[in-house]
């Protein structure tokens, strides 16, 4: 199995509230189907989650009553995004269903805890793809918190033990500095924990789930002696499909653990 995360930066415009990149996600779903690879998909919340989450500091937990309507709105928005992704998967011929994180997960002081794996495993056994997404999840210590797509990926990685993990973003991979602000930024074709220490973690868009550095650390945690974790640009047509078919493409491969 190949575990795939469709990043919020590629399926939405993270700078514009509730902006869905329909053409891009439609193409990516078709590429996944055409690759004929055994896959499992999760996706980020992008502008359907991060904009309001940042405005109301939902990542820090409950602190004031004004946050409650924002929690409800974010949950509504990310479910709508998820259903749009599901619709494109179905149109591509992939039998996918929505699994809200709150149906399986709790949090405790920001740590994501899988309490009901049977929901996910039952769907997989039936050859139905359970699709999870970044969301607001209840937290035993803080009231609620942001459950990021990257956190979900780490839990799914432990549950399913995939042979490969792929993060689909809107950049060619991990750079030594932000390529959107620095034209001379150099692509790192391979990243280890030592290389990561030398890389700037600043990104172009505010991200309540930690940005580029947190993603790179998450990727390294998901590596093992027999498993690489790859960051690839889903904005380039055909690149994800080629990667899933085992071909070499422009990307960054995380190796060696954190």
Per the annotation, binding residues are 5-9, 45-46, 50, 149, 170, 211, 215
Which of 40, 44, 48, 120 shows the shortest CA–CA distance to 80? 48
Distance CA 4, CA 162 (A): 10
Three-state secondary structure call for residue 83? helix
205 with 14: CB under 8 angstroms? yes
Residues of each annotated binding site for ATP: 5-9, 46, 170, 211, 215
What does the CA dihedral 137, 114, 148, 193 come to, rounded to 10 degrees?
A: 150
- Bridge partners of 20, per DSSP, are 12
Residues of each annotated binding site for substrate: 45, 50, 149
CA distances from 193 to 143, 151, 199, 253, 254 (A): 33, 19, 10, 12, 9
- Bridge partners of 253, per DSSP, are 190, 230
Say which residues have a Cβ less than 8 Å from residue 186's Cβ, sequence separation at least 6.
175, 176
45 with 134: CB under 8 angstroms? yes
Neighbours of 143 (CB within 10 A): 16
């Amino acid at each position: 199995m190949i575990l795939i995360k469709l990043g919020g930066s590629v399926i939405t415009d993270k700078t514009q509230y509730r902006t869905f990149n329909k053409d891009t996600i439609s193409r990516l779903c078709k590429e996944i189907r055409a690759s004929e690879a055994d896959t499992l998909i999760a996706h980020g919340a992008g502008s359907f989650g991060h904009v309001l989450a940042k405005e109301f500091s939902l990542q820090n937990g409950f602190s004031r009553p004004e946050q409650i309507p924002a929690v409800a709105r974010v949950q509504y928005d990310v479910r709508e995004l998820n259903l749009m992704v599901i619709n494109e998967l179905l149109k591509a011929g992939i039998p996918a269903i929505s699994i809200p994180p709150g149906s399986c997960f709790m949090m405790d002081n920001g740590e994501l805890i899988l309490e009901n794996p049977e929901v996910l495993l039952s769907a997989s056994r039936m050859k139905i793809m359970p699709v999870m997404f970044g969301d607001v999840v209840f937290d035993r210590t803080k009231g609620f918190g942001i459950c990021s797509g990257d956190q979900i990926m780490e839990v799914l990685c432990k549950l399913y033990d995939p042979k490969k993990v792929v993060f689909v973003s809107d950049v060619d991979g991990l750079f030594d500095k932000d390529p959107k602000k620095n034209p001379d930024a150099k692509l790192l074709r391979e990243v280890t924990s030592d290389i990561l220490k030398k890389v700037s973690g600043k990104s172009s868009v505010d991200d309540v789930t930690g940005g580029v550095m947190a993603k790179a650390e998450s990727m390294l945690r998901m590596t093992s002696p027999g498993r690489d974790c790859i960051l690839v640009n889903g904005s380039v047509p055909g690149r994800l499909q080629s990667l899933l078919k085992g071909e070499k493409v422009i990307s960054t491969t995380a190796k060696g653990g954190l």
